Amino acid sequence: MVYELSDAEIDAARERGEKLRTAAPEATAARFDPSSGRLVIDFANGATFMLPARTLQDLENATDDELASVEIEHGYALRWDRLDVDFTIPGLMGGVFGTAAYIAGKAGRTRSVAKAAAARENGRKGGRPRKATS
């Protein structure tokens, strides 16, 4: 059995599609800016989003040429075909720069003057305090 859509159903589907398109801005361009080291994503609504490219999992050691090969897929995702790396744009905008394990590992390696001083002080006291057992 073949079901044919009515003109009203087609018009309603188009209207729903247009509402979806404007509710979630569609990416129209993506590029790597080597002078700043950032990915720049432009949207149909005129907005632009930038982020440091080498903070993304599997792009830490990518060359400028490799990063410049970024492509947009379906207005929703970024793809580096040569590197076999993909990210959704909503995920990037939400701060998801890799897997949970990758992000946790990066957070633990944060370096600051205060953290280095605290580590030295803990070392003088014999290291990190042991966890209390109940």
CA dist 34 and 63 (Å) reads 10
Distance, in Å, from the CA atom of 65 to the CA atom of 34, rounded to the nearest integer, reads 9
Do 24 and 85 fall within a single domain? yes
Q: Are residues 48 and 83 in the same domain?
A: yes
Q: What is the pTM of this model?
A: 0.62
Question: Does residue 8 lie in a domain region?
Answer: no
| Same domain? 93 vs 121 | no
How many domains are contained in the chain?
2
Query: Would you write out the chain's pLDDT as a tens digit for each of its 134 residues?
Result: 678 889 999 999 888 877 766 666 789 999 999 999 999 999 988 899 999 999 999 999 999 999 999 999 988 899 999 999 999 998 898 888 887 777 777 666 667 788 788 888 888 888 777 777 76
Residue-number span of the structural domain to which 108 is assigned: 98-128
Residue in 89, 81, 84 with CA at minimum distance from that of residue 27: 89
| Residue 111 shares a structural domain with residue 70 | no
- Identify the bridge partners of residue 32 per DSSP, sorted by sequence position: 39
Q: Indicate whether 90 and 116 sit together in one domain.
A: no
H-type alpha helices, 1-134: 7-23, 64-68, 89-93, 100-108, 113-124
Tell me: do 78 and 114 sit in the same domain. Answer: no
Are 31 and 75 part of one and the same domain? yes
Residue 5 covered by a domain: no
Together in a domain, 52 and 115: no
Decide if 1 is inside a domain.
no
Statement to judge: residues 90 and 106 lie in one domain: no
